[in-house]
Amino acid sequence: MSLFDIIKLIFPLLLIIGLLSGLLLLVKKIQFNGSRIIQSNIKVVHTLMLMPKKYMSFVKINDRIIVLGISDHNITLIKELNANELEINESNNTSGSSFSDHLKSLIKR
């Protein structure tokens, strides 16, 4: 095999790798620009794993808190609250009352 034959084999490979990486960068740029607006108003405050593949999440959307039950097959709205009804500690600090205490207080309402 001569040097020319080796170059003929490597050049198409490098060309395909370059095209695929360019396409990947383009898709990432388009996806990032579209999701930036949505993420500015939506924040997952806390997620609790209840069982394997079953979670409870508190999601803050503007001035509302939405409590969601999440499993591997569906998402269920449990309750919708005003943000001023619930004190939110967004710094993930564990001092003070626990998550179960907050949940018990919400269930009593």
Are 47 and 87 within one domain? Answer: yes
Residue 104 placed within a domain: no
Query: Is pLDDT larger for residue 18 or for residue 6?
Result: 18
CB of 59 closer than 8 Å to CB of 45: yes
Counting the structural domains of the chain, the total is 2
Band the pLDDT of 94: cuts 50, 70, 90: very low
d(CA 18, CA 14): 6
d(CA 57, CA 40): 18
Residue 98 placed within a domain: no
The domain of 19 spans 1-40
pLDDT at 33: 62
Residue 96 placed within a domain: no
Residue 7 placed within a domain: yes
33-67 pLDDT, tens digit per residue, is 655 555 578 888 889 999 999 999 999 888 899 99
